[in-house]
Structures are given as C-alpha cells and as structure tokens.
Amino acid sequence: MSKQWETWDEEKIKTFQETFLTWYHKEKRNLPWRATNDPYAIWISEIMLQQTRVETVIGYFYRFMEQFPTIQDLAEAEEQKLLKVWEGLGYYSRARNLKAAAQQIVAEFDGKMPNSIEEIRSLKGIGPYTAGAIGSIAFGLPEPAIDGNVMRVVSRLFCIEADIAKASSRRPFDEAMRTIISPDEPGEFNQALMDLGSRICTPTTPKCEECPISQYCLAYAENRQTDFPVKSKKAKPKDVYYIAGAIEDQGSFLLVQRPETGLLASMWHFPLVEVTKEQYEALQRTWAKEEQLQLDLIAEDDALEIFPDLPVVWQKRHFGEITHIFSHLKWHVLLFYGRKRGELTLQDSEWAAKESFQNYVFPKPQQKLVEQLKKYQKLDKDF
C-alpha cells in the first residue's frame, strides 16, 4: 500500500497544520466540553459521543455533570440513579464502564485521571480513540484520536484503501496521523478533524468547495472522494419478535426488571414474550385492523395465547407496534393492553403507578411502548 504521507516534507506538514488549525480556531463549534481542560469532563463527553449525535449529547452532558460533578461522585453513584441519568442515550454498558473506571481511578490513581496514554488505556471502557482524545485534549499529548470521521478524512487525504471495517486497518491511519498531527496543539488538531468529518467531509456528499485542506487532498485532486473510505458492508441486524403486555391493575402497571447482565441489564419494561415471525404476523393480521376501534375486553376463556398463564383480560385489538435497532438486533414489539383479574406475580417484577414511571430506568424500546399506550388510551400527557 502506498504511504502518501511519507512524501510530505516538514515544510508541507507545518503549512498544513497552520492552515487547518487557523480554520478550526475560526469555525469550531461551541460545545460545553470544549470550554474546559478538565480531563473528567472531557472523558465523560467522549464516552457519550460514541454512537450518539452531538446535539443529543449536550443536554445529557449537562445533567450528568450536575448529578456527578467529580470522579468520586461517579464512583459512589447508585447504579439505578446512574442509568436514569443515562436513560435514552443507549449502549448502557458505557455508563456502567464509566462507574467501574471511576472506582478504578479512586483506588489506583488517588481519584485523579491518569495522564499517560498507557494508564488511561488501562481504565475500563477506554480504547485507543478515547485515550487519544483525553490524552491530546486534556494533557496535550501528541496522540491521535481515530474514529470514523477521522478515518474518512484521512483516507481521502492520502487515498488509503485499507478497509476501515477491519481492526487490522487501524495501523496506516495511525501512521498517517502521527505524521501530520500538530505537536503544539494535538487536542485542537484532533477536534478539527472531528469537526471537518462531521460538517464538511461527509460520507456521501462531501463539501469539497468549503474544505480548508482540499488543496492537500489526494482524493479531491483525483476526483475520487466517494471512493473513500473503503468499508465492507456490516451484517444486517437480526430480526427478533416480541409481544409486550401492558397489564393494568387499579392505575398501576406490571413492570419486569431484566437480569443484572446482558442486553439492557437491570432495566425495566412491560412483560415481554419472544415469538416467531409467523406468530407475530398472525397476531398483526387478526388484531390489527384500524377500523376495529372497539375497546371491549375479550372473554376470559379467550385469553391471549402468548400469555396463557397470566390471569389477565385482554383487549380485542393490539395497540400498535414499535421497532428498535440495536447494533446486532432489530426488535419488533407488538403491544397489547390487559387488566389483571386474579393474583398475578412474576419474578423480578413490581406494580408501578403511572405517576411513578419516572423513577424507573426505561430502555428506549420501553419508552416507545409507553408512548404507544398513551396514544391509544389518550392518557394524561404527564403519564
């Protein structure tokens, strides 16, 4: 593979850095975590920004820092309180890893964020990118922070044909970045690449006419911008089908807590039963007609077969469906409403008044189910 960055001499590298940083200082986004060099705040922001849009993160960042202003506070946080603050961001293992790393910092580094790349990398949940971001922004270390945006920019800059979907392809990007990164302002340089990738050097329609470094870009010179980055297709998420039961008893609904490990660990939702695609579609066809608006309850001997052992009287139609995509799974959930008609207990469950839902940590699929319930029952907006 051609290593075009090796053809740049010191003068070209220095001119490139000055041009790029001049643009960044003028055009950089005003973001709360950029107003500080506090490594704790930078760490929290970088973890939140993984797989999440900047606009979404801003509000969460403020709330998180208010609830857990120091590493010590995070280390001592109750898990349910931590997850509640994180609720809606998804990828909840990030929040749990933050707490574990905070405990590690308290135990091993006297409560202060370590300032070497090796020690930062030793923390739970911190990989090469996050370590590079913290090291360069908070401590001025000339360490690259290579994420998808940076790979896209650098691959176009030097026409790097390595497949970015493969972990082994990180090496040429690391070599290129160590050649061009500013030793005086490494954090600013890394953030400049992030901004360029998210605003100008976009995946499908790069705005090359607005790019401050287009004169250095080999892909632009060869009119091959859309050939980069090279990326093999990711496997399609697996479809999984569930029936959810919104079971009510005198204004309270039955909630089930998930196990302490695994997907959506320790979070709460309506009872769920996994079904086959055929069962799911059969229930859709039988119960889903929009013109069937009756709210009658079905007879007790005509119970919903999916929940045969629950003493519940179900409504004749379902309340619609929701979908939610995880990194490897796509959930399809059909919602039914029913009322308790006898003793009903499930393992790891509680009855919760709708007014108290705010005290439970709901994953995104459950939040969508609650919205469906509100829509069909025309419940109070405070529900």
Residue 95 DSSP symbol: H
Q: Which of 27, 46, 55, 291 is catalytic?
A: 46
Cα gap 60→91, rounded to integer Å: 14
249: nearest Cα among 163, 179, 311, 335: 311
Q: State the virtual CA torsion across 33, 36, 42, 46 in degrees, nearest 10.
A: 30
The model's pLDDT over 13-25, given as tens digits with 9 standing for 90+, comes to 999 999 999 999 9
The model's pLDDT over 90-132, given as tens digits with 9 standing for 90+, comes to 889 999 999 999 999 999 999 999 999 999 999 999 999 999 9
For tokens 């919760």, what's the residue? 352
Q: Is 305 a catalytic residue?
A: no
Q: Whole-model pTM?
A: 0.82
23: left (phi over 0), alpha (psi -120 to 50) or beta: alpha
Domains delineated in the chain = 4-227 (1.10.340.30), 238-377 (3.90.79.10)
The tokens for 48 are: 């939140």
Instruction: From first to last of the 383 residues of the chain, give the pLDDT tens digit.
Output: 679 999 999 999 999 999 999 999 999 999 999 999 899 999 999 999 998 999 999 999 999 999 999 999 999 999 999 999 999 998 899 999 999 999 999 999 999 999 999 999 999 999 999 999 999 999 999 999 999 999 999 999 999 999 998 888 899 999 999 999 999 999 999 999 999 999 999 999 999 999 999 999 999 999 999 999 999 888 899 999 999 999 999 999 999 999 999 999 999 999 999 999 999 998 888 764 544 444 444 444 444 667 878 889 888 788 889 999 998 999 999 999 999 988 887 889 999 999 999 999 999 999 999 999 988 876 434 43
Give the pairing type, strands 321-325 and 272-275.
unpaired
